[in-house]
Amino acid sequence: MALKLHPMAFPSHSHRRNLLSHCTNLISSQVFMASNHSSATLEVEKKPYHPAKEAPGLQVTHSISPEKLEIFKSLENWAEDNILVYLNSVEKNWQPQDFLPTSESEEGFYEQVKELRERSKEIPDAYLVVLVGNMITEEALPTYQTVLNSLDGTRDETGASLSPWAIWVRAWTAEENRHGDLLNKYLYLSGRVDMRQIEKTIQYLIGAGMYTKWENNPYKGFIYTSFQERATFVSHGNTARLVKAHGDIKLAQICGTVASDEKRHEAAYTKIVEKLFEIDPDGTMLDLADMLRKKITMPSLLIHDGLDDNLFQHYSAVAQRIGVYTANDYADIMEFLVSRWEIEKLTGLSSEGQRAQDYVCGLPPKIRRLQERAQKMAKKASAVPFSWIFGRELTI
């Protein structure tokens, strides 16, 4: 049977060419529209980065007078002879690897990691949370170098300045950098904590910055660092004592070594402030009172893990409960600094300076009374989950 084909069943060559051109144009138009839609969607969804936590309130900037700036210029030779001596030689300093499993030997490495994990098994969750919080605070070191270099009169103007103040900040940063490195690696090897949540928290904290209230003023900045180095010495020292009681001698040694560094750095910063009291007792007294009125806030105040908007308060509550860092420690540090700088013996102050002196000397017992009252009025303990320990809850 013969098949009869209709002449229109197959389009002509020119018709096929026109049809192909039409389809090509249609596809191109659809691809272009889809591309534009995708770009528009990205433009709508992609928002500028913004810190998860913000410093509360506006801050004063550049409050120091030109006359007082000259004091720091005049102290450069003194700083070289009296402050840079608190830095250790790199070749003689301890390094994180001194306390960690050696990775060169595969067999030995795995055995050492196994021993580390066995030791860390007995550390309670509350101690782990405080240890993680301390480590994250150390890991936010880029922020601390940044804010120290915001101080008028002592900042590193070039990035490699040979001013003693600039040398101190860079070398201090280099020494402090070992602390976070060591604690981070130890916690990672322990297998007891959620490292991804911890790493997110570190990024959040560095991105948020630090609420200093220094006003770019080196008087206030060095008063703060004197207090803060003392606080980290106390915190790491107490952590060492507590983990030792739970059998992790190596971790206790690590925390004790970090505390020793903090103590040495504290000695340098308190010596700077001691010199300021010698040269400008009235101005230094007023700045000390001002910093204490505003309260010395911890560097990790803006800490966030992407889940808990009150993470700093919760972490601090755990530290208070287990005795790592408490309100009494805060008062102890004030008393230590009052004694260290012999504030009660200062004479020749202005009337405003005398009022500041009375305020500072009377503050530690006042804080202790407030703490006692707060403990009596404390609400019933509640359980809070911590992402750093895989969402397990702790009582605060």
**Residues 6 or more apart in contact with residue 132 via CB below 8 angstroms:** 187, 193, 198, 388, 389
Does the structure show a pLDDT above 50 at 5?
no
| 67 noted as active-site residue | no
pLDDT of residue 346: 97
Cα dist from 334 to 271, 274, 342, 388, 396, whole Å: 16, 15, 12, 32, 26
Query: Binning pLDDT at 50, 70 and 90, where does residue 43 land?
Result: low
Catalytic residue among 139, 194, 262, 287: 262
DSSP 225-293: HHHHHHHHHHHHHHHHHHHHHTT-HHHHHHHHHHHHHHHHHHHHHHHHHHHHHHH-HHHHHHHHHHHHH
- Measuring CA to CA, which residue among 132, 103, 111, 91 is closest to residue 251? 132
pLDDT of residue 44: 54
Mean pLDDT, rounded, for 235-255: 97
Catalytic residue among 265, 270, 290, 329: 265
Query: Binning pLDDT at 50, 70 and 90, where does residue 377 land?
Result: confident
| 138 noted as active-site residue | yes
What average pLDDT is seen over the chain?
90
| 43 noted as active-site residue | no
Query: Binning pLDDT at 50, 70 and 90, where does residue 375 land?
Result: confident
Query: Binning pLDDT at 50, 70 and 90, where does residue 7 land?
Result: very low
| 22 noted as active-site residue | no
pLDDT of residue 276: 98
Q: List, for residues 89-111, the tens digit of each pLDDT value.
A: 999 999 999 999 999 988 899 99
Cα–chain-centroid distance for residue 239?
18
- Measuring CA to CA, which residue among 49, 79, 51 is closest to residue 161? 79
Q: List, for residues 126-182, the tens digit of each pLDDT value.
A: 999 999 999 999 999 999 999 999 999 999 999 999 999 999 999 999 999 999 999
| 94 noted as active-site residue | yes
Does the structure show a pLDDT above 70 at 309?
yes
Mean pLDDT, rounded, for 307-318: 97
Query: Is residue 222 within 8 Å of residue 241, measured between CB atoms?
Result: no
Q: How far is 71 from 77, CA to CA, in rounded Å?
A: 12
Does the structure show a pLDDT above 70 at 24?
no
Does the structure show a pLDDT above 60 at 340?
yes
Query: Helix 249-279 crosses helix 327-340 at what angle (to 10 degrees)?
Result: 40
pLDDT of residue 15: 46
Catalytic residue among 154, 179, 284, 305: 179
What proportion of the chain, given as a percentage, has pLDDT over 90?
Answer: 82
Query: Is residue 333 within 8 Å of residue 230, measured between CB atoms?
Result: yes
Supply angle C-alpha 279, 285, 289, rounded to 5. 155
Catalytic residue among 176, 194, 215, 308: 176
| 261 noted as active-site residue | yes
pLDDT of residue 57: 79
By CB neighbour count within 10 A (0-12 exposed, 13-18 middle, 19+ buried), where does 248 fall?
A: buried
Strands 392-395 and 383-386: antiparallel
Catalytic residue among 156, 261, 290, 308: 261
| 157 noted as active-site residue | no
Q: How far is 234 from 260, CA to CA, in rounded Å?
A: 10
Higher-pLDDT residue of 345 and 4 is 345
Mean pLDDT, rounded, for 114-124: 96
Q: List, for residues 46-90, the tens digit of each pLDDT value.
A: 889 999 999 887 889 999 999 999 999 999 999 999 999 999 999
What proportion of the chain, given as a percentage, has pLDDT over 70?
Answer: 89
Catalytic residue among 143, 201, 232, 326: 232
Global pTM value: 0.87
Catalytic residue among 80, 94, 173, 280: 94
Cα dist from 107 to 96, 102, 112, 191, whole Å: 21, 10, 9, 19
Catalytic residue among 229, 266, 287, 329: 229
Q: List, for residues 178-197, the tens digit of each pLDDT value.
A: 999 999 999 999 999 999 99
